[in-house]
């Protein structure tokens, strides 16, 4: 039985920039921010270049970590050569993405319902206070 694992080794043919980018991606968004701050401290154009790259590559404002995004894109585009397995994998990934989307929309509806309930409670308390002051 073969298991799929994420390979953290870097190919020797990769440039030092590619290896540095992967290393920072593996460490997460905090490492990117630390590198940017360090770049500003050492030589401000380096920090500015890192900030521009983080914004351009959408690393700065994404909700997910860089490594997770890269792993997901690699998993969805890689083909094994086995047509049945590739079809199964694509179907499973599509289904999981659909379930994730449904769950996120459920959470959004849940938050909206909670916000509405809290707002209604606030309005009721406010109306009661106004009634109490009007009676006094």
Q: Which residues of 71-93 are buried (b: 16+ CB within 10 A; e: fewer)?
A: eeeeeeeeeeeeeeeeeebeeee
Check: CB of residue 28 under 8 Å from CB of residue 66.
Answer: yes
Residue 121 or residue 61, greater confidence = 121
Take residue 97 and report the two structure tokens written for it.
Answer: 């993405």
Distances in Å between the alpha carbon of 136 and those of 11, 42, 128? 80, 68, 12
Residue 134's contacts (CB-CB under 8 Å, 6 or more residues apart) are none
Q: What is the spatial distance between Cα 55 and Cα 36, in angstroms, rounded to a whole number?
A: 12
Tens of pLDDT along 28-86? Answer: 888 888 888 988 898 888 888 888 888 888 766 665 555 555 555 555 567 888 899 99
Specify the pTM: 0.38
């Amino acid at each position: 039985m073969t298991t799929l694992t994420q390979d953290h080794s870097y190919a020797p043919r990769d440039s030092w920039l590619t290896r540095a980018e992967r290393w920072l991606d593996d460490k997460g968004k905090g490492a990117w921010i630390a590198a940017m701050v360090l770049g500003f401290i050492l030589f401000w154009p380096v920090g500015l270049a890192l900030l521009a790259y983080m914004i351009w590559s959408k690393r700065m404002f994404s909700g997910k970590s860089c490594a997770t995004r890269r792993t997901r894109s690699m998993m969805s585009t890689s083909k094994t050569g086995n047509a049945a397995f590739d079809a199964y994998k694509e179907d499973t990934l599509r289904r999981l993405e659909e379930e994730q989307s449904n769950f996120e929309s459920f959470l959004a509806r849940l938050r909206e319902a909670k916000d509405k309930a809290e707002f209604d409670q606030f309005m009721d308390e406010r109306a009661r206070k106004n009634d109490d002051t009007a009676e006094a």
